[in-house]
Chains A and B, each alone.
Chain A
Amino acid sequence: MFDVAWQVPPRTSRMPAGWYFGDASPFDEAVASPADAVAVERHHEYLVRMSLDKVVPAEVSAKARAVWELARKAVPGLPVPIAVAYDGGPIHYTWDNGRQVIALEALSGNQPCEWYVSDRQSGQFDGGDFDLSSGLPEPVLATLNEYLLPHPTGPNDGNR
């Protein structure tokens, strides 16, 4: 017999099976502060809402959640990206610190995810597809790690 007292009760009866909100606690090593934990949890709720409100298929919402998990586990302290959901998909993520832009996109169906990185200072840019099972592409990981470093920023200082 095992103890199930620790299990997080469902937050809402409308919540689809398989969704779990409990990993944005202050004990989550990928969360830098309680404020970040709140931001992370609100983002997770946003993803569920996009599915429940039929903005995107549940698979797109789940794929976007998986993309976000890959990113924040790879780069602890990474802020919640700007996210926009298009009707029927995709969900598009953007991190923008004024100099660097990292975009990840969760598309519907069997389509692979999309990535795009650019550096406004150097003018360099790159992009392509990736499968969730392979993790984030190396250029994305490298740019996300640089993203948290201090950069001189202009008025468009992104979502940091």
Chain B
Amino acid sequence: MATGDEQATPISPGSDGTPVPAGTAVIRLGPKPPLKNLNDPGHAKLALGQAWEGLFAFSESERKLASPRLSV
């Protein structure tokens, strides 16, 4: 039974470049930045169909954690 004290298992982007491991459900907490807010390497990355950790804003409560969870 969950007590609420369990440590969340950190997740990281999948090795295929997808933002989260396959089968992981995520909830978007941060605003999705429009494409005009990306620089050239960001556009190049998206053109490859890949995402990266920085594309997904961390919630304030996660900023100070050493193991931030993705907020998609």
Tell me the A residues contacting B by CB distance below 8 Å: 39, 42-43, 46, 50, 53, 55, 79-87, 92-94, 96, 98, 101, 103, 105, 114, 116, 118, 120, 125-128, 154-156, 158-159
Q: Count A-B contacts at CB 8 Å.
A: 91
- Given A46-B40, A85-B33, A86-B37, A94 and B16 touching (CB < 8 A)? no
Is B4 located at the chain interface by the 8 A CB criterion? no
In the complex, what residue of chain B is closest to A116 when comparing beta carbons? B68
- Given A155-B16, A155-B17, A156-B16, A94 and B52 touching (CB < 8 A)? yes
- B52, B57, B65, B67: the one contacting A82 at CB < 8 Å is B52
Mask, B25-49, CB within 8 Å of A = 1, is 0000011010011111110110000
CB pair B37–A55 under 8 Å, yes or no, is yes
> Interface extent on B, as a size class?
20 to 34
CB pair B53–A103 under 8 Å, yes or no, is yes
**Other A-B pairs, 19, CB within 8 Å; known A55-B37, A86-B31:** A42-B40, A43-B40, A50-B37, A80-B40, A82-B39, A82-B41, A82-B52, A83-B38, A84-B39, A84-B55, A86-B57, A87-B31, A87-B33, A92-B57, A96-B52, A98-B15, A155-B16, A159-B44, A159-B45
- B14, B31, B41, B67: the one contacting A159 at CB < 8 Å is B41
Closest CB pairs A-B (n = 6)? A156-B17, A94-B54, A92-B54, A83-B39, A159-B41, A46-B39
**Residues of chain A lying within 8 A (CB to CB) of residue B10:** 125
- A85, A93, A128, A154: the one contacting B15 at CB < 8 Å is A154
State in angstroms the CA–CA spacing of A105 and B60 once bound together. 13
- A43, A53, A84, A128: the one contacting B54 at CB < 8 Å is A84
**Residues of chain A lying within 8 A (CB to CB) of residue B40:** 39, 42-43, 46, 80
